[in-house]
């Protein structure tokens, strides 16, 4: 029997506010244990929380960017929670009146992954297990989160990977989170069940908690799918439980029984006011959202003729796309600038963190100036490439490396003379080309380009060589 994967995601995204959700403690990553906390975020008796307004605005931005409806009325609830990483014994979250509902993210295959809800809540502290003991660091406790909950719409691991990548990209673009999974600012709980292919009934689900690597999400889903199929085919029943993934062994193992909503005994938080959001505020927030990556990618391919893969690379990081948009102002052919960014500049900016900031020595205006020299036929592409490398080394303008003798290319008479010289000095290449070996022409072209010190137009050279050989 064939089985189908059914999966849904609960993704926790830490928001990039300066202070925590209910107090003025810093949200900075790291720090000595228990130094970024106060009586409010460790829940001492008599303290009162006060909701950070920027958290609400960031959550609305996330909802709008994922096509959600924004609730005019939302409220905060207490979720009973018996683990020591939240010393109040409850987590402040949202239950029946979340801020954002009924959105979606569209995948490249056209399918829409429905978003059930996006709600705000506080993060828990961090438990550290070492030397047979358990320690707790409350620095992360009270850091603001949004939890993005999907419907069980994933039918393959590839869809899950693309969803996480797109969600991460969107959150970074709108500036609500850096989504650095290695630092825990984006974590996924993956719910998985299997069912016979063609069945509409959902199977028993398990939940793999706190996945903070896309590669590990893929591996964990593949393993858990096969494990559940094996259990069913062996005559057993899948148990609803919460699992952890061990990346060393590539396996999942049980943490605890899987809770349902009623296990948490939600009730309204009496210390926090109702959240009222006006339509005017929602539209004001919508107006400040940047162009989203999917829209930007379509613009690059449709308006500029940039290949889809190149457009994906240019739009993956907001800073890169902003650099590109600035660099192509007034250009006839933005593809030239795109090629320089993806080629020469990306070779110097290798890591994901570097591409996020995209702080390169060559400004967009300097790249624009260089590409305009090509478009005005003052220099050829190969000279421009060499010049760009020098610009990246020094941060200086292209005019520092191109003198008057480099400008203006090669006139027709000089070009013909160079081509004749190349033909006369390479009779074997000429003979090979006449014999049908197209590649032989490239050695002749290279000879002319060397004579011209890269100033000749390669297309014009090729045309002239073919014309002279045919005489």
- In tens, the pLDDT along 40-69 reads 988 898 999 999 999 999 999 999 999 999
Instruction: Please report the DSSP string for 94-151 in residue order.
Output: --SS-SEEEEEEE-TTS-EEEEEEEEEEEPP-EEEEETTEEEEEGGGTT-EEEEEEE-
79 and 90 Cβ atoms separated by less than 8 Å: yes
Mean pLDDT of 371-384: 86
Give the pLDDT confidence score for residue 232 in this predicted structure.
94
As a whole number, the mean pLDDT across the chain is 91
Give the pLDDT confidence score for residue 376 in this predicted structure.
85
Higher pLDDT residue, 407 or 211?
211
What are the backbone angles phi and psi of residue 299, rounded to the nearest 5°? -65, -40
| Residues whose CB falls within 8 Å of the CB of residue 395, separated by 6 or more in sequence, listed in order | 361, 362
Q: What angle do CA 34, 40, 41 make, to 5 degrees?
A: 45
**DSSP state letter for 154:** B
Mean pLDDT of 191-217: 93
Task: Give percent of the chain with pLDDT exceeding 70.
Answer: 96
Q: How many residues does the chain have?
A: 471
Give the pLDDT confidence score for residue 24 in this predicted structure.
96
Give the pLDDT confidence score for residue 84 in this predicted structure.
85
- In tens, the pLDDT along 272-311 reads 999 999 999 999 999 999 999 999 999 999 999 999 999 9
Q: What angle do CA 131, 132, 133 make, to 5 degrees?
A: 95
Mean pLDDT of 189-211: 93
- Report which of 74, 59, 62, 162 is spatially closest to residue 112, judged by C-alpha positions: 162
- In tens, the pLDDT along 390-399 reads 999 999 999 8
Query: Left if phi > 0, otherwise alpha if psi is -120 to 50, otherwise beta: which for 57?
Result: alpha
Structural domains of the chain sorted by starting position, each given as residue range(s) with its CATH number in brackets: 3-284 (no CATH), 291-406 (no CATH), 412-469 (1.10.10.410)
Side-by-side strand order, sheet with 100-106: 69-70, 100-106, 112-122, 144-150, 3-14, 186-196, 206-211, 241-246, 251-257
Q: Is the pLDDT of residue 338 over 60?
A: yes
138 and 40 Cβ atoms separated by less than 8 Å: no
């Amino acid at each position: 029997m064939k089985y189908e994967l059914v999966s849904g995601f609960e993704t926790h995204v830490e928001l990039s506010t300066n202070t925590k959700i209910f107090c003025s403690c810093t949200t900075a990553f790291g720090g000595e244990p228990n130094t970024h906390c106060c009586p409010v975020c460790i829940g001492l008796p008599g303290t009162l929380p006060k909701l950070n307004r920027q958290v609400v605005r960031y959550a609305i931005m996330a909802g709008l960017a994922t096509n959600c409806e924004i609730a005019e009325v939302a409220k905060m609830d207490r979720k009973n929670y018996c683990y020591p990483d939240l010393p109040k014994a409850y987590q402040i979250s949202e239950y029946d009146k979340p801020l954002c509902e009924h959105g979606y993210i569209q995948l490249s295959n056209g399918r829409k992954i429905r978003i059930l809800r996006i709600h705000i809540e506080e993060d828990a502290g961090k438990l550290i297990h070492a030397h047979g003991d358990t320690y707790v660091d409350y620095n992360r406790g009270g850091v603001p989160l949004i939890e993005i909950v999907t419907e069980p719409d994933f039918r393959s691991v590839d869809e899950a990977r693309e969803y996480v990548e797109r969600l991460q990209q969107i959150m970074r673009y709108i500036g609500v989170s850096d989504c650095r999974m290695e630092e825990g600012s984006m974590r996924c709980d993956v719910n998985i069940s299997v069912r016979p292919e063609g069945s509409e009934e959902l199977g028993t689900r398990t939940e793999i908690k706190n996945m903070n690597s896309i590669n590990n999400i893929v591996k964990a889903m593949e393993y858990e799918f096969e494990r559940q199929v094996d259990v069913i085919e062996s005559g057993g029943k899948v148990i609803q439980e919460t699992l952890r993934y061990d990346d060393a062994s590539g396996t999942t193992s049980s943490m605890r029984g899987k809770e349902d909503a009623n296990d948490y005994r939600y009730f309204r938080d009496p210390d926090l006011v109702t959240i009222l959001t006006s339509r005017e505020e929602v539209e004001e927030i919508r107006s400040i959202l940047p162009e989203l990556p999917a829209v930007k990618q379509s613009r690059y391919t449709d308006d500029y003729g940039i290949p889809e893969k190149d457009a994906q690379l240019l739009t993956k990081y907001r800073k890169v796309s902003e650099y590109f948009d600035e660099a192509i102002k007034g250009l006839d052919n933005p593809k030239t600038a795109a090629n320089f960014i993806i080629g020469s500049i990306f070779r110097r900016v290798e890591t994901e963190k570097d591409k996020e900031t995209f702080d390169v020595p060559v400004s967009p205006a300097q790249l624009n100036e260089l590409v305009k020299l090509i478009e005005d036929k003052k220099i050829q592409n190969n000279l421009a490439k060499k010049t760009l490398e020098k610009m990246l080394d020094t941060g200086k303008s292209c005019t520092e490396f191109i003198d008057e003798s480099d400008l203006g290319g090669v006139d027709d008479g000089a070009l013909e003379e160079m081509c004749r010289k190349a033909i006369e000095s390479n009779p074997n290449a000429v003979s090979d080309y006449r014999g049908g070996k197209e590649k032989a022409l490239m050695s002749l072209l290279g000879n002319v380009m060397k004579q011209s010190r890269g100033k000749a137009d390669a297309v014009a050279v090729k045309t002239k060589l073919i014309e002279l050989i045919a005489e």
